[in-house]
Amino acid sequence: MTETHPEVLVAGAGPVGMFAALALAKRGIDVHVVDSALQPGMHSYALALHPRSLELLREVGLHEAVVAESYPVHSIGLFDQTERRAEVRIGDGTANSGIAVLRQDVLEELLEAALEDAGAKVSWSHRLARAVMGESSVNATIETLEKESRGYAVSHTEWVVAGSKDLSPKFVIGADGHSSWVRRMLRIGFPEVAKPQYFAVFEFVSDADLRNEMRIVFSGGTTNVLWPLPDGRVRWSFELPAYTARDPRREKDRFAIQVEAGDYPILTEERLRTFLAERAPWFTASVGEIAWRIVVRFERRRAESFGRGRMWLAGDAAHLTAPAGVQSMNSGLAEASELAEIVGKAIHAKDSGAAFEEYDRRHTRDWREILGLSGGLRATGKTDPWVAANGSALLPCLPGIGPDLAALAGQLGLELAAPASAGG
Ligand SMILES: Cc1cc2nc3c(=O)[nH]c(=O)nc-3n(C[C@H](O)[C@H](O)[C@H](O)COP(=O)(O)OP(=O)(O)OC[C@H]3O[C@@H](n4cnc5c(N)ncnc54)[C@H](O)[C@@H]3O)c2cc1C
């Protein structure tokens, strides 16, 4: 790897940035990945890989390793507070055709190890601080961050800039998450398209046997999600419709510290049991040790474009939505794969202008659909009335994008409305 002048600089070593870098490295492209954080995130966050993402991971040689660490999900059960109302099948029921449930930190660990094997180590504590597009390259400044410790009795640490260097990659991929610097440097707007949603998330040990199924529960106007995890735990996420956070969390924890309920009365075990009793009394499995709990705010936004010239966005840098369908990370992996292909061709002197335009157009269309800006899900003559009544809440819950999303909705007799001509 040429650290001074890599062909591509990837800002952000989340799943999307590392996947983009790996796909580039596999194409023989000289790539450098920087991340401003000290180390990778902990916890499960976006915990499921869509079938299409598994195929992309196969292309970079990670399919087997990922499947070995995952719990397979072959169906989505749709419930209300009293009973099961509908079902969606994922894949054809064979072992590798469904969704792979895998903690995000485990996925990131696998990606980082594969990147290192491909000769492209992540530079942690390195922040992209500036990027100016030139005719044939981008002039990028990378700052090295160091921790400065202050005081003893009340320990207080702060990050300081210990040094900086300039790079001139041909392209920059901004996979730098929801507050993306790359997006801001390109002055691309990131408007909110709907109110944020808050969820209380609990992961706990349980004897629940979910039989390879994730469950979505619409109860009293709230969306709630139950995922089986690979390690004998389950994750419940409960929407908090009236919640406004004192300290809205959106950052990834970098340390595996057990989060106690502390100042968050909404996260006590008693509240967990109340949520279950009120919203899913049919869940009679055990509630064992709570391994992780958090309140997360999920914003719904999309970038006004996916980039231009020599700087392109992928993943949370370009879009955010509600968590149930795990659409943002999975879409990000597809975007990363496409960008690796287009950038690879552009570096080998093929004119890729039209391919970049198509990248922008297709993902803009997909995200207008996911966020309901194209009309959302429409009931047809075949739609069950309960499903029809919950159609708009279902859109962010279905684990698919583009044609895959349309096919999952189709199983419920729902159609994705035709794209509107403008707006959003
Ligand atoms: C607490 C929590 C719970 C979540 N739960 C769910 C869920 O249930 N379902 C779901 O679908 N999604 C969930 N998510 C969201 C999911 O984690 C993201 O969609 C996913 O991480 C996006 O991946 P990414 O690679 O695009 O961005 P990220 O994983 O955010 O990675 C971006 C990286 O860029 C780095 N960075 C930022 N600025 C710079 C810079 N200037 N220079 C260099 N590096 C920079 C950051 O340090 C970060 O590591 C959750 C997120 C959080 C925080």
Measured from the CA of 34, which atom of ligand 1 is nearest? 43
Cβ-based burial of 419 (10 A; exposed 0-12, middle 13-18, buried ≥19): middle
Residue that terminates a domain, selected from 300, 318, 337: 300
Yes or no: say if 267 and 295 are a contact pair by the CB < 8 Å rule.
Answer: yes
174 and 252 in a single domain? The answer is no
Both 24 and 133 in a single domain?
yes
**C-alpha 406, offset from chain centre:** 20
- Cα 197 to Cα 72, 299, 337: the distances in Å are 27, 6, 29
Q: Are residues 320 and 210 located together in one domain of the fold?
A: no
- pLDDT computed for residue 332 by the predictor: 98
The pLDDT of residue 413 is 96
Total structural domains in the chain? 2
**Residue minimizing CA distance to atom 27 of ligand 1:** 177
Ligand 1 atom with the shortest distance to the CA of 294 = 1
Rounded to 5 degrees, φ, ψ at 149 are -95, 140
Query: What integer pLDDT is reported at residue 184 of this predicted model?
Result: 97
Handedness of CA 269, 275, 278, 283 (dihedral sign): negative
pLDDT at position 39: 83
Domain assignment present for 416 = no
Q: Which residue has the tokens 């007799």?
A: 413
Tell whether 244 and 161 lie within a shared domain.
no
Q: Which of 44, 252, 333 to mutate to test the pocket of ligand 1 (most atoms within 8 A of CB)?
A: 252
Query: Which residue minimizes the CA distance to atom 51 of ligand 1?
Result: 45
Number of alpha carbons in the 13 Å side-chain half-sphere of residue 283? 31
Residue ranges of the chain with pLDDT lower than 70?
1-4, 148-158, 245-263, 418-424
Residue 409 lies in a domain: no
d(CA 313, CA 336): 9
The rounded Å distance from CA 413 to ligand 1 centre is 33
Quick one: which atom of ligand 1 is closest to the CA of 178? 30
The answer to whether residues 87 and 165 belong to one domain is no
pLDDT at res. 5: 81
Taking the centre of ligand 1 as the mean of its atom positions, its distance from the CA of residue 94, in whole angstroms, is 31
